[in-house]
Structure 1
Amino acid sequence: MEMATGNGSKELVLATMAMVAVEFSLVLSTILLKAASLKQMSFFIFTAYCYILGSFVFFLLASFFKRKTVLPPSKFPLFSRIFLLALLGFSAQMLVCKALEISSPTLASANNNLMPAFTFILAVFFRMEKVAFRNSSTQAKIIGTIASIFGAFVIVFYKGPKVISSFSSLSSLSSSPSSDLLQRPSNWIIGGFLLTIATLLTSFLYIIQSQIMKIYPEEITVNFFYNLFGTIISLPICLLAEPNLSSWKLTSTLAVVAVFYSGLLGLSFTSLTHMWGVRLKGPVFVASFKPIQIVIALVMSAIFFGEAVFLGRY
């Protein structure tokens, strides 16, 4: 019994470390995407390349680990859910990309405060979470849900005072091209609205991931089909949005780094770890780490870009 408890503790520590690492990876990916977009890289092209590279990564992983894809007898429930997963993922990615275009990576990270709330509500609705009001765990989740919703609304709608001034040692960035990343967005509220819808779709995505893991608990194979379906969905749409094939050439170093980091490491690592976490601890556990992103984003923006920190929006 003690050994089982010890294994459970190690599993929880490992899962926690993995989730925190994922949030760091996502913040960096978001910052790179925003920076590359300022160099005229299309979000449509970025998304299509990420799905293509993701398919390649998971095909290699499946081949390397010599996975035997023993599919369940009834394949439709599995593949229909993976296709829905890819559709939700693509839709959420498009909304995030558009929101980044008119707002900032800090807002994108801050809006993730809503994800634990949305995921918990959906998990209760789909009977994945039991609500016992006298249970301390349920009480903590309800308080966390209310706090996360309140925090997200403060960030989007409240124009608060400056909490930390920009670092004077990095003030030289204000005259550099990279300082465009720090320009105050003019469509903060619209960006927040788009990000809220994307967050809701991502919460649905976690719920569906949980269902898929019960049917077929093979993260690498599922992620291969997820990225393959994502490629099938995104490529025609992205080609219609960007019909000029010359624009698909990655001309800037920043665009190449953003695409290869996100496609080969950032988003692939994220989807694999999230699916593993959902199978291990459930969708609410995975979503509960999302608020860490705002802390990481603020620290990175303050240290590396000299950005001032405000209470609420700019």
Structure 2
Amino acid sequence: MGNKIIAPFVGMVMAMVLQSGSMVVIKAAMNDDFNKYVLIVYSLALSTLLLLPFLFLLPRSERPTLSFSTLCNLFLLSLCGSSGQIFAYVGIDLSSPTLASAMLNLIPALTFVLALLFRMEKVEWGHFSIQAKVLGTVVSIGGAFVVILYKGPPIFKAPISSLSSIPLSFSPHFNWILGGFFCVADSFVASIWYIYQASVIRNYPAVMVTVFFQLLFSTIQCSIFALIAVRDQSAWQLKLDTGLIAIFYQAIAATTLRYLLCTWSVQKAGPFFCSMFKPILIIFTVIMGALFLGDDFYLGSLIGAVIIVVGFYGVMWGKAKEEKCMIIDEERLQSTCQNAPLLHDKHVTI
């Protein structure tokens, strides 16, 4: 492994550890009866406040004027992010951090499906890259159904019993299925967010400003939702418990620090290199879930996760192959243009 790759490698591993810890900390807080919607609001608000000073330190050249249409786009983009967070927290509450981390590997496949629906991507069935992406998408979605619908026997039992909070109105198996579909909904919304984000950043390429306003708008949107959903005013009271730890962890480690690590790693090694680390999220989440929550690891989760990861790498391989072909075509075109003789038009007069 070259010296240029070691630092991004360590950075991405740290980012995955932070994200795994995020899911476990969220589940631990909810197991201690800390309201999930209140947790979202406080975490987003603290992240917004942490990012505010950095915004003022930016040079004016990196803070172009925000138009009304850009603010509207950022508001809609934030709505995708807010919905995704709510879906993710509900999914983790009903199922487990392990299932939630497995479902995140669906994002490339769902993004490809949406790109096809919005005609952002052409399908040429004769190309191996397209075939790999289609096959990888089908495999990933099939793996997701395996994780959700087949729990199976536990293949690893934690030393302590699970502290999972289960509403009395639902059976544990129904909770698992329902939580799985909420996690799929989170991945689907995240795919919409990625596509929409690309368009917003292209028109307004100030990354720090867009992130700040997304956090700000998401805080407002989730606050409105939480005020409607949470009737008990005592749920908003902060104490020295796992809820407070989860808020600080989410704001500092899972949002701010993880974002910086991922951005820096993408800058150093490229997006494809960094995307390959997503599947190891499952490994870290299983270990942390067993150590800190007493979660068991089930056969269905193992089989489904393996299938999803195979599909994930299929989609990413197809994408990498496609980008490589595009680069080769561009180089050939440039070479042809440089070597082409100058054409003289006999009818042009000076």
- Common fold by TM > 0.5: yes
Contact between 2:19 and 2:254, CA under 8 Å: does it hold in 1?
yes
State which structure, 1 or 2, has the greater radius of gyration over its C-alpha atoms.
Answer: 2
Give the Å deviation of 1:29. 0.8
Give the Å deviation of 1:302. 4.0
Aligned partner letter, 1:190: L
2:152 aligns with 160
Cα distance change on mapping 1:131 and 1:18 into 2, 3 Å: farther
Match of 1:230 among 206, 211, 218: 218
Give the Å deviation of 1:160. 2.8
1:262 aligns with 250
Contact between 2:286 and 2:297, CA under 8 Å: does it hold in 1?
yes
**TM norm structure 2:** 0.72
Aligned partner letter, 1:152: A
Contact between 1:113 and 1:152, CA under 8 Å: does it hold in 2?
no
Match of 1:63 among 56, 61, 65: 56
Cα distance change on mapping 1:260 and 1:39 into 2, 3 Å: same
SS in 1 for 2:152: strand
| Cα distance in 2, alignment partners of residues 139 and 182 from structure 1 | 42
Cα distance change on mapping 1:14 and 1:121 into 2, 3 Å: farther
Q: Establish whether residue 37 from structure 1 lines up as the match of residue 24 from structure 2.
A: no
Aligned partner letter, 1:45: V
Q: Deviations over 1:205-245 (max 9, x none)?
A: 11111112211222211111001111221222222333554
Give the Å deviation of 1:136. 3.9
Q: Deviations over 1:168-222 (max 9, x none)?
A: xxx2x33xxxx41498944111111122112111110111111122112222111
Q: Establish whether residue 250 from structure 1 lines up as the match of residue 234 from structure 2.
A: no
Cα distance change on mapping 1:294 and 1:228 into 2, 3 Å: same
Give the Å deviation of 1:52. 0.8
2:136 aligns with 144
Give the Å deviation of 1:141. 2.5
Cα distance change on mapping 1:225 and 1:118 into 2, 3 Å: same
Which aligned pairs between 1:114-153 and structure 2 lie closer than 5 A?
114-153=106-145
| Cα distance in 2, alignment partners of residues 68 and 249 from structure 1 | 41
1:88 aligns with 80
SS in 1 for 2:299: strand
Match of 1:180 among 159, 163, 166: 163
Aligned partner letter, 1:118: L
Q: Deviations over 1:45-81 (max 9, x none)?
A: 1111112112112212223444545436x82442222
Matched residue count: 295
Q: Deviations over 1:14-52 (max 9, x none)?
A: 766655543322221111011001111111211111121
Give the Å deviation of 1:286. 7.2
| Structure 2: runs of 5+ lacking an equivalent | 303-350
Aligned partner letter, 1:220: M
**TM norm structure 1:** 0.79
1:200 aligns with 188
Q: Deviations over 1:75-100 (max 9, x none)?
A: 24422221111111111111222222
| Cα distance in 1, alignment partners of residues 136 and 13 from structure 2 | 18
| Cα distance in 2, alignment partners of residues 80 and 278 from structure 1 | 28
| Cα distance in 2, alignment partners of residues 214 and 50 from structure 1 | 28
Between the two proteins, what is the percent identity of the paired residues?
A: 34
Give the Å deviation of 1:275. 7.2
